[in-house]
Amino acid sequence: MSEVDHLLSKKVADRYLKREVLGEGTYGVVYKAIDTKTGQTVAIKKIRLGKQKEGVNFTALREIKLLKELKDSNIIELIDAFPHKGNLHLVFEFMETDLEAVIRDRNIVLSPADIKSYLQMTLKGLAFCHKKWVLHRDMKPNNLLIGPRGQLKLADFGLARIFGSPDRRFTHQVFARWYRAPELLFGAKAYGPAVDVWAAACIFAELLLRRPFLQGNSDIDQLGKIFAAFGTPKLSQWPDMQYLPDYVEYQYVPGQPLRQLFPMASDDALDLLSKMFMYDPKARISALQALEHRYFSSGPPPTEPALLPRPPPKRDSLNSKVSDFNQREGPIVLSPPRKSRRVMPHREGIDGHTYQVDKVDDHVDEIKPAAGERSEHVPMSLDFSVFGARPPSRPTINRAKQVLVESSNM
């Protein structure tokens, strides 16, 4: 990186005041930060560029520029992207929780209308991106983030394509397999938006069951779990399957009726689910068609996002407010001239605006009704037996660690 580039990237990095680590994801550490230009709380994903020591490659930058143009109310906004110290930093709007936390919270009752609302927002985000020819490729409940007014937004869109598929060495990635479409498990190199629809179907199933639906512990086992549920696909059902690179013939097993797998779901829900779970990707319903399915027009109507049950925001504990955002000392600057620098509450933004630290986090207090506060949503089809079951033991992510981060890490 030239001296000028270095100074430029430092200037951009200086715009963000880093707070605590939110977690470690597929591509690197995610930090909470404050944008001094706008006062907005943001999440910064620091992507290790690994071997590309020379800097960010042009293809990645071009792709990221495209992602910045993807603006939709159900897609997380990529606010900024800049290289800094050999890492790429992606700045996203900050979100309070995610769908995995909703599904796993045993204090939350999800009514059929709530499930419909969460699925509708997921499909709207997907349909928008597919319209722009962008695939997600890593759809799973913890990539569906939830904002302060209950809006669900797809996160990490397109990153799998830019930075490569999730690395299986990371333990938290193993459960991404549970959402993988059969064509991917058979090694398809050419695939399309249907892979995201399969994953959305798994998420729909998980909302209904309150546990991950198909929990394979290897790719072979994943296919086994899929076939045990829906029956081994016949060539008549999926003619192109035999040409896939890793295709092997499986012993035939019959499937189970969907009604048996999802005893509490409505007929419309099951019909849509069966179309999203079609084996042949060519026959699988698209995200847009799914949104037009009668499941969404028949009663009950989807719950208003602001009224959806969700867990208390896990990303802003009292602890983090007190320790990370000490009014006297101020937070640590992302890219300090010295090893570590603290700023006073009043700071000049790079655009010349005076930035008031004690104001920026106001929205955090706008927490919407807690799960227990809703009495109007009476669950109409719920399998209460699942509440007795322990949540599945997923590999854990080191999320929302309430620690101060040494700026030298950036």
Catalytic residues: 138
Position 185 contacts ligand ADP (CB under 6 A): no
Q: Which of 12, 13, 17, 22 binds ligand ADP (CB under 6 A)?
A: 22
Give 29's strand partners: 24
| Strand-by-strand arrangement of the 41-48 sheet | 78-84, 87-93, 41-48, 29-35, 16-24, 332-333
Q: Which of 36, 111, 122, 143 binds ligand ADP (CB under 6 A)?
A: 143
Position 26 contacts ligand ADP (CB under 6 A): yes
To the question of whether residue 29 is assigned a binding role by annotation, the answer is: yes
Q: Which listed range, 54-62, 87-95, 192-200, 266-274, lies at the site for ligand ADP (CB under 6 A)?
A: 87-95
Return the residue nearest ligand ADP (CB atom).
25
Measure the CA–CA gap between 320 and 401, rounded to whole angstroms: 9
Name 183's Cβ contacts closer than 8 Å, sequence gap at least 6. Answer: 191, 194, 195, 241, 244, 281
Residue 172 CB, shortest distance to ligand ADP, in Å, is 5
Q: Where are the alpha helices (DSSP H) in 298-345?
A: 318-324
Q: Which listed range, 6-14, 20-28, 316-324, 347-355, lies at the site for ligand ADP (CB under 6 A)?
A: 20-28
To the question of whether residue 25 is assigned a binding role by annotation, the answer is: yes
To the question of whether residue 23 is assigned a binding role by annotation, the answer is: yes
Q: Which of 9, 12, 23, 36 binds ligand ADP (CB under 6 A)?
A: 23
Q: Which of 172, 180, 293, 310 binds ligand ADP (CB under 6 A)?
A: 172
To the question of whether residue 4 is assigned a binding role by annotation, the answer is: no
- For residue 14, the surrounding DSSP H or E stretch is helix 3-14
Q: Are 43 and 58 in contact (CB under 8 A)?
A: no
Q: Are 118 and 67 in contact (CB under 8 A)?
A: no
Name 116's Cβ contacts closer than 8 Å, sequence gap at least 6. Answer: 295, 296, 300, 301, 302, 303
User: Is the alpha carbon torsion for 227, 189, 57, 351 positive or negative?
Assistant: negative
Q: Which listed range, 88-96, 320-328, 362-370, 383-391, lies at the site for ligand ADP (CB under 6 A)?
A: 88-96
Shorter beta-carbon distance to ligand ADP: residue 94 or 198: 94
Cβ-in-10-Å burial (0-12, 13-18, 19+) of 320 comes to buried
Q: Which of 16, 92, 178, 198 binds ligand ADP (CB under 6 A)?
A: 92
Position 397 contacts ligand ADP (CB under 6 A): yes
To the question of whether residue 12 is assigned a binding role by annotation, the answer is: no
Shorter beta-carbon distance to ligand ADP: residue 43 or 162: 43
Measure the CA–CA gap between 240 and 280, rounded to whole angstroms: 8
Position 163 contacts ligand ADP (CB under 6 A): no
Map the footprint of ligand ADP across residues 310-369, applying CB under 6 A. Answer: 315
Shorter beta-carbon distance to ligand ADP: residue 174 or 261: 174
Instruction: Quote the tokens at residue 349.
Output: 């933004």
Shorter beta-carbon distance to ligand ADP: residue 68 or 341: 68
Q: Which listed range, 24-32, 67-75, 208-216, 289-297, lies at the site for ligand ADP (CB under 6 A)?
A: 24-32
Q: What is the DSSP string of 197-220?
A: HHHHHHHHHHHHHSS-S---SSHH
Could you give the dihedral angle defined by the CA atoms of residues 105, 110, 114 and 118, in that order, rounded to the nearest 10 degrees?
A: 40
Q: Which of 20, 105, 156, 196 binds ligand ADP (CB under 6 A)?
A: 156
Residue 155 CB, shortest distance to ligand ADP, in Å, is 5
Instruction: HSE, CB side, 13 Å, CA atoms: give it for residue 351.
Output: 8
Residue type, 158: G
Position 110 contacts ligand ADP (CB under 6 A): no
Measure the CA–CA gap between 396 and 171, rounded to whole angstroms: 8
Map the footprint of ligand ADP across residues 260-299, applying CB under 6 A. Answer: none
Measure the CA–CA gap between 67 and 234, rounded to whole angstroms: 38
Angle, CA 107 vertex, CA 102 and CA 111 arms, to 5°:
65
Q: Which listed range, 90-98, 217-225, 228-236, 268-276, lies at the site for ligand ADP (CB under 6 A)?
A: 90-98
To the question of whether residue 26 is assigned a binding role by annotation, the answer is: yes
Q: Which of 16, 82, 94, 227 binds ligand ADP (CB under 6 A)?
A: 94
Task: Tell me the number of residues near ligand ADP by CB under 6 A.
Answer: 22
Map the footprint of ligand ADP across residues 47-76, applying CB under 6 A. Answer: 76
Output Rg (C-alpha) for the chain, integer angstroms: 22
Q: Which of 12, 115, 126, 155 binds ligand ADP (CB under 6 A)?
A: 155
Kindly provide the residue ranges of all beta strands, DSSP E only, lying in 292-380, ordered along the sequence.
Answer: 332-333, 346-348, 354-356
Binding residues for ATP: 22-30, 45-46
- Binding site residues, ligand ADP, CB under 6 A: 22-23, 25-27, 30, 43, 45, 76, 92, 94-95, 98, 142-143, 145, 155-156, 172, 315, 397, 399
